């Protein structure tokens, strides 16, 4: 595929998204389908280009040059717009581009039936146009190679997602929208300031140019820039102290939007963070790396703990997203830490494991959000308590969701496990000859990853089991029917992709450059790092083989084929669906074991039914999970700001004499100070 055809395909994908946004406003009722199909097609183009460049050996696509063959005197064709800015896709950004395009493709397909079913809450043209703009913003961020382009499209993303979150129109979505707006706008300001600090205030300097400037930057500006960038990217990724907006925003946004934001939007923060750290900065100070590791680990733990407690499907997934992002940032931190301490192969393995985890996260998280959309649509409520019994009624759909849930819980044959495996194996391998400080850090990291993996399994099993199994706990769940195939397609495809990515992870990793994580000489079947190997395909074949053998053996040994259905054993007391274990009950032990941190208040009120017999009483139990971060960190800042502005507001107290004396005072003070 020559460069110009690739460039044309890339331009088609970008222009297609823009046109999709415009088509959304077409008065014709078919505009909704047309806009989404167009978006899907352009995303498909983008995916193909992305994959080709990512797996191509060192291909670098620079847009204006690739489109027009260089002019005779070799001066590249300068685009009149954007100060002759250059847009391009190198191998690193191509990985994210292809990921984002795949997720957009599937979400666009999913959006067609979704918005038609929810026509009364969301205005279709508005939602489609904003989604198209959102995707355009993401494409722009990945394509732009200088600060101005990066920040312009970053701002487009935050504004469009702000409006998308509020599309629902409810009070809660408005509150979530504004909380989102505050954090992302501050984050965007921080990123802009950080980048400007690095580039010495030059607006249009290319990232490669900045890489030349940064080595001589004075220590103070470098540190200030690093802190600002960590805050900027960390807050958008949902690292702990700034994560409070994420569950609100993801649960209030319409399902396709939250799938897009968690599947593709969050990856941009990792892209930006790595683009700055790996491509722009010569080296990173030790304290910064340690903060990244600690922040990552804490976010993972907090995210997983709240995911275990959560009873609202979308909030549970949002916390799961925080947990995975925490893991990714921890992996990046460990990679950088190893780089500092000199064990180079751990650096490469950890960074590529983080990249692979980002890819896996994009697939399973968007899949789970799309699936949660279907679950909520069937039950008309986001509470896990109202679901149940869906597996019996929607077998194929629940199969796909089971696959997605297991891959989210880092279970073997799926992609996230491969990323976690290569990271942990690299850590174990590096333990032997690491410096003492690194040894301690790696030991703590291993314990943390184990802890998080365990509780992630707990959360995902809870999500799947309480959501799908046992008897339906509401009549909508009882009346559930298999969703339309077009709804099911994206979920099933994402589940299958997760499995395929897992099985062929050595091939994929080798193609995107992790050469010694998946060495070519083992014909790209084996992940080998830190002294351990894992052949995902053979592992899968062994497991499948065992299951098959068991199936045959069972058929052989017991010729009992007839299954007699009978009600569950209930020691004589007929059981009702209300007696089943709900999400709250299922997570009770964890809530008890971590009560010092979670501080969940459980209130049980019992009202005696008959006056004379106190034992016969109806008990209601309510659980309030206090948002530690919100009450301790965000509420005080909010009230402080309003108090301060009340104070300043008194400046305008209405008396003319006060204003006159203000002016004269200003005059006197300036005279004294200035002269």
Partner 1 sequence: MPFILVLILASGAVTAYLPLSERRIRDLGVVVAAVSSVLAVYIALPAFGVFVGEQSLVTGPTGVFGPGSLWYLDSLAAMMLSLIALISLSSAVISHRYLAHEFREKIVSLTDIRHYYSMVPLFVASMYVATLSNNVGLLWIALEATTLSTTLLVAFYRKRSAIEAAWKYVLLCSLGISLGLVGVLLITYAAGQNGANSSLLLSTFRDIVAAGGVNTDLIKWAFVFLFIGIGTKVGFVPMHAWLPDAHSKTPSPVSALLSGTLLNVAFVSLLRFRQVTDMALMDDGAWTGKFFLVFGCLSIVVPALIMVIQKNYKRLLAYSSIEHMGLMAFAIGLGPAGIIPAVMHLPGHALLKSSLFVGAGEIFLTYKTTDSAPVTDVWKRLPKTAVLFLLTLLMLLAVPPSAVFVSEMIMVGFGLRDYLLPTLLVVVALTVVFVAMLRHIYTMFFSAPTVNTVLTNGAVEKWNVTHVVMTIQLIAAAVLGIFYLTPKGLEIMVGIAQSLNSGLL
Partner 2 sequence: MMTTFTSSEVTTISLAVSFLLCAFLGSGKFRLGQIVRYYALQSLFLAGLLISLAAYGDKHLYLSALGVIIFKVILIPAIISTNAKRSSASGRLTSFVRPAPSYFVSGGTLLLAVLAGMSIAPALQETDLILTVTAFAAMFLGGAMMAVRRDLYSQIIGFFTLENGIAILAAATLGAIPLLAEIGIFLTITIGALLMSVLSRRLKELYAVEDTGELRELVD
Partner 3 sequence: MNPIVLTIIQIVVVLLIAPLSVGLTRFFKARFQGRHGAVPWLPYLTYATMLKKENVISSSGSWMLRATPYAVLGSALFLALVLPLVATGGVLAASSNFIVVAAVLALGSAFLVMGGLDTGSAFGGMGSSREMTIVSLLEPTIILTFAAFALATGSSAVDGMIAGSQMAGELLITAPYLSLSLLALMLVALAENARYPVDDEATHLELTMVREAMILDYSGPYLAMMEYAAALKFTVFALLVANFAMPTPLIMTSSTLLEVLLAIGATFVKLGVVMFAVALLESTIAKMRFYRVQEFLTGAFFMALTGLALALLSQLL
Contacts (CB under 8 A) with partner 3, residues 544-583 = 546-547, 549-551, 554, 557-558, 560, 562-570, 575, 577, 579-581
Determine the interface stretch with partner 3 among 2-10, 154-162, 415-423, 658-666 (rule: CB under 8 A): 415-423
Q: Is residue 489 a contact residue for partner 3 (CB under 8 A)? A: no
CA 457-336-151 angle, 5° bins = 90
Residues 539, 555: Cα–Cα separation, whole Å: 25
* Minimum separation from the CB atom of position 660 to partner 2 (A): 5
**Secondary structure class of 469 (helix, strand, coil):** coil
Our CB check for partner 3 shows the closer of 142 and 534 to be 534
Given 660, 666, 669, 670, the residue binding partner 2 (CB under 8 A): 660
Given 661, 666, 669, 670, the residue binding partner 2 (CB under 8 A): 661
Which residues make Cβ contacts (< 8 Å) with residue 10, sequence separation at least 6? Answer: 45, 46, 49, 61, 63, 89, 143
| DSSP character at residue 71 | P
DSSP one-letter string for 377-422: HHHTS-BGGG---HHHHSHHHHHHHHHHHHHHTT-TTSHHHHHHHH
**Secondary structure class of 273 (helix, strand, coil):** helix
State both tokens at 339. Answer: 């780089």
The answer to whether 141 and 272 are in contact (CB under 8 A) is yes
User: Residue 141, class by beta-carbon neighbours within 10 Å (0-12 exposed, 13-18 middle, 19+ buried)?
Assistant: buried
Residues 191, 458: Cα–Cα separation, whole Å: 36
Determine the interface stretch with partner 2 among 204-212, 231-239, 447-455, 644-652 (rule: CB under 8 A): 644-652
Given 3, 8, 18, 411, the residue binding partner 3 (CB under 8 A): 411
588 interacts with, out of partner 1, partner 3, partner 2, none, CB within 5 to 8 A per kind:
partner 3
Determine the interface stretch with partner 3 among 23-31, 322-330, 408-416, 506-514 (rule: CB under 8 A): 408-416
**Site pattern 444..483 for partner 2 (x: CB under 8 A):** ----------------------------------------
Report which secondary-structure segment, H or E, holds 308: helix 286-309
State both tokens at 391. Answer: 């597996």
The answer to whether 20 and 477 are in contact (CB under 8 A) is no
Residues in contact with partner 3, total (CB under 8 A)?
Answer: 85
Q: Residue holding tokens 């949902």?
A: 238
* Minimum separation from the CB atom of position 203 to partner 2 (A): 36
657 interacts with, out of partner 2, partner 3, partner 1, none, CB within 5 to 8 A per kind:
partner 2
* Minimum separation from the CB atom of position 673 to partner 2 (A): 14
Paired with 600 in beta bridges are 625
* Minimum separation from the CB atom of position 126 to partner 3 (A): 39
Q: Is residue 486 a contact residue for partner 3 (CB under 8 A)? A: no
224 interacts with, out of partner 1, partner 2, partner 3, none, CB within 5 to 8 A per kind:
partner 1
Determine the interface stretch with partner 2 among 375-383, 438-446, 532-540, 649-657 (rule: CB under 8 A): 649-657
661 interacts with, out of partner 2, partner 1, partner 3, none, CB within 5 to 8 A per kind:
partner 2
- Alpha carbons within 13 angstroms on the beta-carbon side of residue 648 total 6
* Minimum separation from the CB atom of position 644 to partner 2 (A): 13
* Minimum separation from the CB atom of position 669 to partner 2 (A): 13
Our CB check for partner 3 shows the closer of 16 and 483 to be 483
Residues 229, 224: Cα–Cα separation, whole Å: 9
Torsion of the alpha carbons at 372, 374, 375 and 379, rounded to the nearest 10: 140
- Report the interface residues with partner 1, using CB under 8 A: 80-84, 148, 151-153, 155-156, 159, 166, 169, 174, 178, 181-182, 185-186, 189-190, 192-193, 196-197, 200-203, 221, 224, 641-642, 644-646, 648-649, 651-652, 656, 658-660, 662-663, 665-667, 670-671, 674-675
197 interacts with, out of partner 3, partner 2, partner 1, none, CB within 5 to 8 A per kind:
partner 1
Query: What number of other Cβ atoms are within 10 A of residue 579's Cβ?
Result: 14
Given 80, 653, 673, 674, the residue binding partner 2 (CB under 8 A): 653
Residue 288 has φ and ψ, to the nearest 5°, of -65, -45
Q: Is residue 674 a contact residue for partner 2 (CB under 8 A)? A: no
Q: Residue holding tokens 């167009």?
A: 38
**Site pattern 428..457 for partner 3 (x: CB under 8 A):** xx-xx---x--x---x--xxxxxx-xxx-x
543 interacts with, out of partner 2, partner 1, partner 3, none, CB within 5 to 8 A per kind:
partner 3
Which residues make Cβ contacts (< 8 Å) with residue 46, sequence separation at least 6? Answer: 9, 10, 13, 14, 97, 98, 100, 101, 104, 139
Which residues make Cβ contacts (< 8 Å) with residue 445, sequence separation at least 6? Answer: 293, 297, 330, 334, 427
Please give the residue ranges that form the binding site for partner 2 (CB under 8 A).
649, 651-657, 660-661, 664, 671, 675
């Amino acid at each position: 595929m020559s460069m110009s055809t690739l460039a044309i395909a890339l331009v088609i994908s970008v222009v297609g998204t823009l046109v999709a946004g415009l088509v959304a406003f077409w008065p014709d009722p078919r505009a909704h389908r047309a806009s989404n199909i167009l978006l899907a097609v352009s995303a498909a183009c983008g995916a193909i280009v992305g994959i080709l460049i990512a797996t191509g050996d060192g291909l670098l696509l620079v847009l204006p040059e690739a489109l027009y063959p260089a002019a005779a005197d070799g001066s590249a064709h300068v685009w009149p717009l954007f100060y002759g800015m250059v847009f391009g896709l190198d191998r690193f950004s191509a990985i994210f581009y292809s990921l984002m395009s795949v997720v957009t493709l599937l979400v666009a397909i999913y959006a067609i039936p979704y918005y038609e079913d929810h026509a009364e809450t969301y205005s279709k043209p508005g939602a489609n146009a904003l989604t198209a703009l959102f995707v355009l913003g993401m494409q722009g961020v990945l394509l732009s190679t200088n600060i101005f382009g990066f920040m312009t499209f970053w701002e487009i993303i935050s504004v469009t997602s702000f409006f998308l979150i509020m599309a629902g129109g409810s009070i809660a979505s408005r509150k979530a929208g504004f909380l989102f707006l505050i954090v992302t706008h501050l984050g965007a300001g921080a990123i802009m300031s950080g980048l400007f600090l690095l580039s010495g205030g030059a607006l249009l300097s290319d990232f490669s140019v900045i890489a030349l400037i940064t080595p001589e930057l004075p220590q103070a500006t470098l540190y200030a820039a690093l802190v600002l960038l960590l805050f900027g990217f960390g807050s958008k990724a949902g690292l702990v102290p700034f994560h409070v907006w994420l569950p609100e925003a993801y649960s209030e946004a319409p399902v396709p939007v939250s799938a897009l934001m968690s599947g593709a939007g969050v990856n941009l923060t990792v892209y930006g963070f790595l683009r700055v750290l790996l491509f722009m900065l010569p080296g990173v100070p030790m304290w910064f790396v340690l903060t990244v590791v600690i922040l990552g680990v804490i976010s993972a733990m907090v995210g997983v703990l709240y995911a275990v407690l959560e009873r609202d499907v979308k909030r549970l997934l949002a916390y799961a997203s925080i947990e995975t992002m925490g893991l990714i940032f921890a992996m990046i931190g460990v990679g950088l830490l190893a780089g500092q301490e000199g064990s180079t192969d751990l650096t490469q393995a950890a960074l590529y494991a983080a990249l692979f985890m980002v890819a896996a996260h994009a697939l399973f998280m968007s899949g789970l959000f799309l699936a949660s959309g279907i679950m909520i649509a069937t039950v008309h409520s986001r509470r896990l308590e109202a679901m149940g019994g869906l597996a019996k009624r929607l077998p194929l759909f629940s199969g796909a969701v089971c696959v997605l849930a297991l891959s989210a819980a880092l279970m073997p044959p799926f992609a996230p496990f491969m990323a976690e495996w290569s990271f942990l194996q690299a850590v174990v391998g590096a333990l032997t000859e690491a410096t003492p400080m690194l040894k301690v850090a790696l030991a703590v990291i291993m314990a943390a990853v184990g802890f998080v993996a365990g509780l992630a399994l707990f959360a995902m099993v809870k999500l799947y089991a309480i959501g799908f199994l046992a008897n339906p706990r509401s009549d909508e769940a009882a009346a559930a029917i298999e969703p339309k195939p077009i709804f099911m397609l994206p979920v099933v495809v994402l589940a299958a992709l997760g499995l395929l990515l897992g099985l062929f992870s050595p091939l994929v990793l080798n193609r995107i450059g992790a050469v010694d994580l998946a060495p070519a000489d083992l014909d790209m079947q084996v992940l080998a790092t830190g002294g351990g190997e894992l052949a995902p395909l053979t592992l899968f074949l062994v497991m499948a083989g065992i299951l098959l053998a068991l199936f045959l053996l069972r058929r052989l040994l017991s010729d009992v084929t007839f299954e007699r259905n009978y009600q569950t054993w209930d020691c004589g007391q007929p059981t009702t669906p209300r007696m089943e274990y709900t999400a709250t009950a299922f997570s009770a032990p964890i809530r008890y074991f971590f009560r010092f941190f979670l501080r969940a208040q459980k209130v049980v009120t019992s009202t005696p039914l008959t006056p004379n017999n106190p034992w016969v009483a109806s008990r209601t139990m309510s659980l309030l999970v206090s948002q530690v971060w919100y009450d301790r960190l965000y509420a005080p800042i909010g009230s402080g700001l309003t108090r301060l502005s009340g104070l300043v507001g008194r400046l305008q107290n209405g008396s003319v004499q006060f204003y006159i004396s203000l002016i004269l005072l200003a005059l006197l003070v300036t005279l004294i100070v200035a002269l």
